[in-house]
A = this chain, B = another copy of it.
């Protein structure tokens, strides 16, 4: 077990409380199976359905949510026995992780559960995809975040800005001043739950989230976060759960507006949609990941004219872009949103995409010194 020197007692206690809760849920899951068996009934686990058919657009709070449909997973059913066994196998691994006070990657969980069933040539998992799916089942069945199950994913994303955090995730309470992180920045971990990451000194008034780390570097080098008193994040394209959860917590716990600077193309719109409303595949996590208040500050289809850009920055839409743009326009949360309908129509009638970097044709720091400050001042964004 990792040495826990220097960790604050409060943080340790919170982690223990969380682990106790999760451990109890796993025990209840297992006990349910045992009880049914003793009662002479078929062992069964209820797994909420993770599918589009069971995804509901909650207009009132503005997020995608999972409905209450679920399926039973039976041991004595040829089609379900494999998944039944896999679910219990992973439950047991999670229990071990909690007991050992360790975390494991998705790939690690696949290997941890991997063996050949005694007396057969059958492997417990044929590949990681199968293992990942069972872990998502387990999340919804237990009502516990993957992070609470001590499982992490590949991390991506960096942060700088007017905030100090305390990161307990590596065994000591490390105080990290994001005002002094140089050109590199603080690498956002995969697990950012309140018991491992605490916000200590939040001076920032908002968060600027950009799509790419190269754009982030431009903003950091121009010390945008200092001049505008904010936090600067990037998520390496489509932000991973750790980054989304961090944005959510900053918005919820400190009331910070989240402004997203993304490309003017269907991919940029999709990233925004996921940050704001959640995704179908993770609908069961929307309440903890989605930021309904997130704002899209650009790039906008009007910017070609508004910023007097040259024809050189145009990247012609291909058939797939057009298809995706139409799909996104039909998302329930965009469907009745006049601003977004206009925006996507603008993209389609332009016939071209534009990247954030296209503003460099104006000036190296046009984006940090003029574009974003002007849009913020004019409150010119889509939400």
Q: Which of B110, B165, B186, B223 contacts A171 (CB under 8 A)?
A: B223
For A167, list chain B residues within 8 Å (CB). Answer: 181-184
For A222, list chain B residues within 8 Å (CB). Answer: 2, 102
The distance in angstroms between the C-alpha atoms of A85 and B296, with both chains bound, is 38
Chain-B contact segment, one of A267-275, A318-326, A353-361: A353-361
Given contacts A108-B364, A153-B214, could you give 19 more A-B pairs where the C-beta distance is less than 8 Å? A2-B221, A96-B364, A102-B222, A104-B360, A104-B364, A105-B218, A106-B214, A107-B357, A110-B357, A111-B358, A154-B214, A155-B217, A158-B187, A169-B184, A172-B180, A172-B182, A174-B182, A183-B189, A185-B186
Kindly supply a per-residue 1/0 record for chain A positions 68-87, scoring 1 wherever the CB is within 8 Å of any chain B CB and 0 otherwise.
00000000000000000000
CB neighbors of B among A185-216 (8 A): 185-191, 196-197, 212-215
A37 is an interface residue with CB less than 8 A from chain B: no
Q: In the complex, which residue of chain B has the Cβ closest to the Cβ of A170?
A: B183
For A171, list chain B residues within 8 Å (CB). Answer: 221, 223
For A104, list chain B residues within 8 Å (CB). Answer: 218, 360, 364
A272 to chain B minimum Cβ distance, whole angstroms, is: 20
For A223, list chain B residues within 8 Å (CB). Answer: 2-3, 170-171
Number of copies: 2
For A308, list chain B residues within 8 Å (CB). Answer: none
The distance in angstroms between the C-alpha atoms of A264 and B114, with both chains bound, is 19
A115 is an interface residue with CB less than 8 A from chain B: yes
The distance in angstroms between the C-alpha atoms of A355 and B110, with both chains bound, is 12
Could you jot down 13 A-B contacts, CB within 8 Å? A3-B226, A100-B364, A105-B214, A108-B218, A112-B360, A115-B361, A154-B214, A155-B213, A167-B181, A167-B182, A174-B180, A183-B191, A189-B217
The distance in angstroms between the C-alpha atoms of A167 and B3, with both chains bound, is 29
A303 is an interface residue with CB less than 8 A from chain B: no
A103 is an interface residue with CB less than 8 A from chain B: yes
- Interface size grouping (class) on chain A: 35 or more
A132 is an interface residue with CB less than 8 A from chain B: no
User: When the two chains form their complex, are residues A364 and B102 in contact, meaning their CB atoms are under 8 A apart?
Assistant: yes
The distance in angstroms between the C-alpha atoms of A50 and B373, with both chains bound, is 43
Q: In the complex, which residue of chain B has the Cβ closest to the Cβ of A361?
A: B111
